[in-house]
Structure 1
C-alpha cells in the first residue's frame, strides 16, 4: 500500500464483473494520486476476484480484502475503513465511474472548509451505451437544502 496516503478510497464489490474494472480504472486515473485503494471482494462467485487480482498486480495502491462468503456492504466497508490509513475516506461503488478530478476537488473543498465533514457530488445515471439516462434527483435536493441542519435530518433517509 502507498506510504502516508491522504485519502483512503474504499470499495466493496459482490459479483461486479460487468462494471468493476471501469470503476477501478476511474479511481486509478485520478488527477490526485496520493491515495490508497482498499477493495473488498464480498464473496463474489463470478470473475470479479480475477479482475481485482489483475488490477492489484498493476497498481501498488490497491489493497484487497477477500470475504469467503457474502457478508454485505456495511460489514465489507467497515472492514476496509478499519485498515485505512488516509486522513480522509472516499467511498466508491463498484458500478460507479468517478470523474477524473473527483478526489482533487473533494479534498480541496474539505481542506478549505474545515467545518465540513462530508462531501458528495451529483451523479448521472448512464446506460450500457454510456449515455446519460438521468441526473439523479436527490442530489438536486441537496443543492436546494444545503444548510447543515437540513442535511443532518435528511441523510438518514436519503
Structure 2
C-alpha cells in the first residue's frame, strides 16, 4: 500500500507547550553495531528540545534491546517496534505519524551528527524564513573511520542559499561520477509543511524515495535552503563509495510520481511547464542509465525492454554529454587549455 498521498490542504496546529522543537526519526534494522552511536549523537545536540523516535523495523539481532536501554536512560528516546520488516519508508512513516515536534529531522541508524547541527540549522531556517534546510554531508567509511570528504560538489555550496525545485532536479541528475546526487541530503523540515501537503514516504520504493519526498514538498510550496557546513556524518561501506547507485526502474517510477504530483496540485504553478520539461528529460536520462547498466551486467533482455522507451532526443543528449565529459578528462589529464568546464 502506498503512503504518498495526493496533494491537499489541511488545517495544521502548532505543537502544544512542552512538546519538543524537533522530532528526530531513526529507522533501524539489524543495527546493533551502530544505532547507539547514532542516537547518542542526536541526544548530544546543543539544542536540547527534541525527541528521538527510533523505529526497530523487525530486526533479528540485538537492536530492539539496545533501543530499550537507550530509552530507559533518556526520556527523550521514544522506541517503536515493527514485528516484521516493513522497509525504511514505512519505518519513517511510522515515525512521522508519531512525531510531536515542530520540525522533523531524519537520521539513518549508521550515521551521526556534529553536536551543534540542529542549533545552527534552526537558526538559519528561522532567520531566512525557510521550510527545509539541508547541509553538506561528510562521507565516512564505516569499517575504517576514514574520511572521504564532502558528498556534494562544493563549488556551488560555498554560502547559504535557497534553491528552487528546478535547481534540485538538475542537481539530482543520474550519471554523475564526481558528486553525489542532491537527493542524498538529509534536511531539517518544518512538520507543518509535511502535514499541510498530506505527504508521507512512498512505501513502494526502496530507491529514490527521499528525492521524491523532497520534490513533492517543494512542489507544494516549501522553500528549501542549503548551507555549506558539513554537519551530517554519512557512513558508507567500501563497496558503496561510488557516487552512482545501482540503477533500477524504481528511480523512473519515482520520477513519474513527481510528474503525477505536479499535475494534481490544487493550484497550477507558474513554472509547471518548465518543471515538467525537466522531469521528462530526467526520465530519459534515468532510462539510459538503466539501459547501459543492463548491457554492462549482461542483462540483455531487460535492456531491450527499456530501449524503445527512450526518445531520440535523450540518446542525443546523452551522447553529447558523454563526448564533452571525455574531452574534459583529456584536457585535465594532459593539461590542455580549459575549453570545457565540468558543471553539474
TM-score above 0.5: yes
Asked if 1 retains the 8 angstrom alpha-carbon contact of 2:53 and 2:77, the reply is yes
Q: Give the alignment of 1:130-141 within 5 angstroms.
A: 130-132=145-147, 134-138=148-152, 140=154
Residues 122 and 135 of structure 1 are in contact (CA less than 8 Å); yes or no, is this contact kept in structure 2?
Answer: no
Decide which structure has greater helix share.
2
Per the normalisation by structure 2, the TM-score is: 0.42
SS of residue matched to 1:40: strand
Note the aligned Cα RMSD (angstroms): 2.3
Match of 2:46 among 31, 36, 51: 31
CA shift, 1:146, in A, is: 5.5
- Give the total of aligned pairs: 155
Work out whether 1:113 is the aligned partner of 2:128.
yes
Residue 37 of structure 2: aligned partner: 22
1:79 CA drift (Å): 0.9
User: How big is the shift at 1:141?
Assistant: 7.2
Quote the residue 2:139 is aligned against: 125
- Structure-2 separation of matches of 1:41 and 1:139: 34
Secondary structure of the residue that 2:157 maps to in structure 1?
helix
Structure 1 unaligned segments of length 5 or more: list them.
Answer: none
1:51–1:130 Cα change, 3 Å:
same
Bigger shift: residues 143-152 or 29-38: 143-152
Looking at structure 2, the residues matched to 131 and 61 of structure 1 have their Cα atoms a distance apart, in angstroms, of 31
Of the three residues 94, 101, 111, the one matched with 1:79 is 94
If each structure's strand is expressed as a fraction of its own residues, which one has the higher value? 1
Which of 108, 112, 116 pairs up with 1:97?
Answer: 112
Largest Rg, 1 or 2: 2
Of stretches 3-12 and 118-127 in structure 1, the one that deviates more from structure 2 is 118-127
**Is 1:150 the counterpart of 2:167 in the alignment?**
yes
CA contact (8 A) 1:7 1:36 kept: yes
Greater Cα shift, 139-148 or 118-127: 139-148
SS at match of 2:97: helix
- How far apart in 2 are the matches of 1:65 and 1:147? 35
Instruction: Give deviations 1:63-120, integer Å, cap 9, x for gaps.
Output: 1110000000111101111111111001111011100001101111111121x22112
Q: 1:18 to 1:155 in 2, by over 3 A?
A: same
Distance 1:36 1:141, change over 3 A: farther
Aligned: 1:13 with 2:38: no
Q: Where in structure 2 are there 5+ consecutive unaligned residues?
A: 1-16, 174-180, 184-344
Shift of 1:40: 0.5
Pick closer, same or farther for the CA change 1:107–1:146 going to 2, 3 Å: closer
* Structure 2 CA distance for aligned equivalents of residues 142 and 81 of structure 1: 31
Which stretches of structure 1, 4 residues or longer, exceed 6 Å deviation after superposition? none
Distance (Å, rounded) in 1 between the aligned partners of 2:153 and 2:62:
32
